Amino acid sequence: MPTHQLIAKVLKNNALNESITVKGWVRTKRANKNVAFIAINDGSSLQSLQIVAEVAKFEDVLRRVTTGACIAVEGLLVPSQGKEQAVEVLANHIAVLGEADPESYPLQKKAHSLEFLREVAHLRMRTNTFGAIFRIRHALSFAVHQYFNDRGFFYLHTPIITASDAEGAGQMFRVTTLDLEHVPKTAEGKVDYTQDFFGRSTNLTVSGQLEAELGALGLGLVYTFGPTFRAENSNTTRHLAEFWMIEPEMAFYDINDNMDLAEDFVKYLISYVLEHCPEDMQFLDERFAKEEATKKAEERSAMGLLQRLHFVTKHSFERITYSQAIEILLNSSYHKKGKFVFPVQWGMDLQSEHERYLVEKHFEKPVIITGYPKEIKAFYMKQNPDGRTVAAMDVLFPGIGEIIGGSQREENLEKLSQRMQEMHVPQDVLWWYLETRKFGTCPHSGFGLGFERMMLFITGMGNIRDVIPFPRTPKNAEF
C-alpha cells in the first residue's frame, strides 16, 4: 500500500503535528521572500491542501513547482496561520514527479469557459468544477446500485452488441468486421451479412430492455445499468450518441407500481447525493447562482440548485394523462399567443417546448404523463382498452424535459404480435422475446432513466457534454 495519504482524509482526520506524505497537482503557487505557499489538489476532495515551503531551503525545486506540475510532499501537518484553511503542511521534503511547462499548460489560474474545457477534456478533471462533477457521478452510480440492492433487485448485464432494435426507431450504430472496401454481396446484390462476424447484421444496443424483460420473467426484479448508443443526429444539450441508462424491469408491476417506483427512485438518488456530497453540491450551487445571474430575468430558474433539489424530494410528482396534457397546452396562453413552434394537437409527440411548459410554467414541479397515443410509442407497450393509447409513462423534469421513459409491457402474445406486424418489427429476429409471452407470461413493467440527464438535473450543468467524462456526439469522438 502507498504511504501517502489522500488529502480528503488528511483534512478530515486533522492529525496535527504528525509527519505525513501527500501527492497531487499544483493549483497555485505564490511566494514572498521567505516562504512559498503551494496549493495542491489530488482529486479526493474539492479542497486543496496548502503546503508551506521555506524559499531558502527549496529554492531549486520551487522553480519547477508550477501550476499543473505533480509533486510529492513530506512534512508536518500544523494549524494554519492563514484564515483560508484550518491546517497546512510545513514541507520537509518536496519531489517533483512531473513538471508542467507554464508556457504551454492549458489550465491557467483564471476561470476557463466550459467550451474551452471540453477541448481539453484530457485535463479538465483537474478543475474544481469537473472534480466536483465526476465525484458526484461516482456517488450517483453507487446510489443506483445501493437502491436496487436494498430492494431485492438483481443487476443484470445485458449485451452491448445485439441483432435487434429494441426501440424500433432505427437509430443504430452498425457493428461489423466486414471489409468496407470490399463488401461481400448476395446474388441479389445486397450486403451478405452471413459472412460478417456474427453471421448476421448486428448493432450497438439502443436499450437493454428486451433482455431485461427476459430477466424479470425469471428473476422477478432486475435492473441494467450500462452504456447505450443512439445514432440520432441531434446536436442538442440533452443528447449523447453514447450515454448510460438504468433500466429496472419488474414482474407483477402495473403502470401505477411503475410510476411509484420511478418517483421513489429519483427522489432517493437526489437525497443520496445531497447527503454524501455536501461540499461538491455547495460548490455547484454557488456556480449555478453565478451562471443564472448572467441570464435574462425570464430565463432564470425560479429556484437555486439546492433549493430545487430539496423541493423535488419533498413534493409528490404531478400525474396526468397525455390527453389532459394536450388539454392544458391548448388552453395555455402560450398556445393562444402562438408561442409554441410546434402546433399542439392530439396525436402529436410532445416536443421539448411543450414538456417544459407543463413542468416549468404550469405545474412548477416534475410531471408524469401516461396514456400516450400508441402511434408515437414503441411496439412493446401495453395497449389500453380504448384501442388508441398505451400504458406508457414519461417523467418530465424542470430544465431537462424527459428524464425517464417507461411503460407497462404488452404481455398478451396475440396483441403483441399484431402490433409488431403493424409497426413492421421483425418477429423472426425477436422470436425469443415473443416466447416469454407464449410460456408463462405475466403483467410486468419497467422504465429507463437517462443517467446523464439525472446528472444534469443534480449538478445544475446546462450541457450534457459536461457531465460525462468523454462525450460522444455527432462529429466528435476525441479522447
Binding region for ligand 4AD (CB under 6 A):
166-167, 207, 209, 230, 232, 239-240, 243, 245, 247, 402-407, 446-448, 450, 452-453
* Residue 98 beta carbon to Mg ion: minimum distance, rounded to whole angstroms: 45
Confirm if 38 and 95 have CB atoms less than 8 A apart: no
Reported as type and span, the H/E element at residue 419 is: helix 413-422
Closer residue to Mg ion (CB): 405 or 446: 405
3-class DSSP state of 340: coil
Q: Which does 20 bind (CB under 5 to 8 A by kind): ligand 4AD, Mg ion, none?
A: none
Find the shortest distance in angstroms from Cβ 377 to ligand 4AD: 9
Q: Which of 479, 478, 471 is nearest to 235 (CA)?
A: 471
Closest CB 1 distance from Mg ion, rounded Å: 46
Closest by Cα among 171, 154, 9 to 77: 9
The least CB distance from residue 403 to ligand 4AD, in Å, is 5
CB closer to ligand 4AD, 10 vs 250: 250
Partner in contact with 448, chosen from Mg ion, ligand 4AD, none, beta carbon below 5 to 8 Å by kind: ligand 4AD
Residues of the shown chain interacting with Mg ion in the complex, contacts defined by CB under 5 A: 405
Question: 446 is in the binding site of which of ligand 4AD, Mg ion, none (Cβ under 5 to 8 A by kind)?
Answer: ligand 4AD
DSSP type of residue 317: P
In the list ligand 4AD, Mg ion, none, the entry touching 406 (Cβ below 5 to 8 angstroms by class) is ligand 4AD
CB of 199 vs Mg ion, minimal distance in Å: 32
Q: Which does 240 bind (CB under 5 to 8 A by kind): Mg ion, ligand 4AD, none?
A: ligand 4AD
Q: How far is the CB of 394 from ligand 4AD (least distance, A)?
A: 7
- Shortest distance, position 437 Cβ to ligand 4AD, whole Å: 17
- For residue 24, the minimal CB distance to ligand 4AD (Å) is 33
Q: Which does 245 bind (CB under 5 to 8 A by kind): Mg ion, ligand 4AD, none?
A: ligand 4AD
- From the list ligand 4AD, Mg ion, none, which binds 444 (C-beta under 5 to 8 Å, kind-based)? none
Give least dist CB 153 to ligand 4AD, A. Answer: 14
> Which backbone phi and psi does 106 adopt, to 5 degrees?
-70, -25
Nearer to ligand 4AD, 24 or 446 (CB): 446
Shortest Å distance, C-beta 28 to Mg ion: 45
Q: What is the CA radius of gyration of the chain?
A: 27
What does 358 interact with, of Mg ion, ligand 4AD, none (CB < 5 to 8 A by kind)? none
Q: Are 371 and 323 in contact (CB under 8 A)?
A: yes
398: its cell numbers: 424542470
Helix (H) or strand (E) holding 248: strand 242-251
Q: Which does 75 bind (CB under 5 to 8 A by kind): ligand 4AD, Mg ion, none?
A: none
C-alpha cell at 131: 472534480
Please say which residue, 175 or 241, places its beta carbon nearer to ligand 4AD: 241
- From the list ligand 4AD, Mg ion, none, pick the one residue 398 interacts with, judged by a Cβ distance below 5 to 8 Å according to partner type: none
With residues binned 3-state (H G I as helix, E B as strand, rest as coil), the percentages for the chain, rounded to 5, are 35, 25, 40
* Single-letter code of the amino acid located at 454: M
How far is it, in rounded angstroms, from Cα 325 to Cα 367? 10
Strand partners, 22: 73
For residues 456 and 244, is the Cβ–Cβ distance under 8 A?
Answer: no
Q: What are the angstrom distances between the C-alpha of 45 and each of 51, 87, 131, 307, 354?
A: 16, 15, 8, 23, 40
* DSSP per-residue string spanning 362-411: IISS-EEEEEEEGGGS-TTBPBPTTSSEEEEEEEEETTTEEEEEEEEB--
Residue 52, phi then psi, degrees to nearest 5: -110, 125
Grid cell in block for residue 445: 413493467
Residue 440: count of CB within 10 angstroms of its CB: 9
